[in-house]
Amino acid sequence: MRSATLPNPNRMTLLVLREAGQPAKQMHMSKPLIIAVPLVAILSISGLIISLQLQSNQTIARLEGQLQSQNLKFEAVVSDKNAAIERLQNEVISLSSQSQDMMNRMERVAELEDQLQKFIEKYGESDSSALSNLSALSLKGLDVDDPNEQLGVGGEFIAVHENEIEQLAEHTKDQFLEMNAMLDEMEKNVPLTLKRAKQTQYSLSGTPSEWPTLSKRLTSNFGYRTDPFTGRASFHAGIDIGAKQGDPVYAAAAGEVITTAQDNSHGKYIIIQHPGGLQSWYLHLSKISVSEGDFIKKGQTIGQVGNTGRSTGPHLHFEIVKNGKTIDPLPYLQ
């Protein structure tokens, strides 16, 4: 049989050459197998590559998804932060404007305190003319803006730089420091001014200007006259006001009651010492309603009209004593 030597078109021979001196090795294989083996190898490598690629694509997609959601979160945080910064900037602006308002008002208050001090310096002494000048103290500087009032505002919008806001905040801080210093100063000065104002008020209200009775009927003036008892020329040290028995007698000014007494000449009488140095005397009373040492207000009832002592009928004898001498009371009385 020659069939074994006949070349088979479906078979191929692989000749493997080895080291020198070693015989070559022949391998007989079928043709389809020769093609199939590398093909399978190529296919399986390709499959591996494709599956690796698919896997990495999935990983990339997952990472991209994560990254995207992270980005969204960051964007949300950033936009929150921006809104917060804008709010803070607006607050700085509002605070600065409030601080400016407060500063202006404090300056006006300080100015008023200054005016008050000048007023006290000018009218501090006991002087009846000062009474009418009390209203000279103008308080019109203290008109405070109503915060509820709708203010008409407008104008072009001009964006501000962050640096400007920082400067504004810095300036506002300075203003608060300045206001603090002003408040310290005022805290120190205002009580002193108030004390001086009270002294001034006390001394002003100590000027005997209040008419001492309901009746304004003058029966005898201050000065020389014919004595009603002796008919001889004499000096009348006060004024006589004819009034009804029991009518109230008012203090002509604030002061301290230094004498309440009775004698044949004065009858029942009261002497009040006023802070400006003047004294007022009230004679021939039917009743005394105050005690020595009492501090009384201007216009306060101190007793009742009477006819005690050297008197011809119910009346009030009213005197003002200045530096130990009687003076005409009429110029003092309203």
Q: Which residues bind Zn ion (CB under 5 A)?
A: 240, 317
CB 258 → Zn ion: shortest distance, Å? 20
CB 223 → Zn ion: shortest distance, Å? 11
CB 236 → Zn ion: shortest distance, Å? 6
CB 325 → Zn ion: shortest distance, Å? 16
CA atoms of 296 and 276, how far apart (whole Å): 15
Shorter beta-carbon distance to Zn ion: residue 240 or 247: 240
What is the token pair recorded at 155? 């104008």
- For 235, the enclosing helix (H) or strand (E) is strand 233-236
Residue 102's Cα: distance from chain center in Å?
Answer: 7
CB 207 within 8 A of CB 329: no
Backbone angles phi, psi at 319, to 5 degrees: -130, 150
Task: Give the residue among 247, 252, 332, 242 at the shortest CA–CA distance from 300.
Answer: 252
Shorter beta-carbon distance to Zn ion: residue 89 or 221: 221
Shorter beta-carbon distance to Zn ion: residue 104 or 265: 265
Cβ-closest residue to Zn ion? 317
Q: What is the 3-state secondary structure (H, E, C) of 290-333?
A: CCCCCEECCCCEEEECECCCCCCCCEEEEEEEECCEEECCCCCC
Shorter beta-carbon distance to Zn ion: residue 123 or 281: 281
- For 229, the enclosing helix (H) or strand (E) is none
CB 317 → Zn ion: shortest distance, Å? 3
Shorter beta-carbon distance to Zn ion: residue 92 or 239: 239
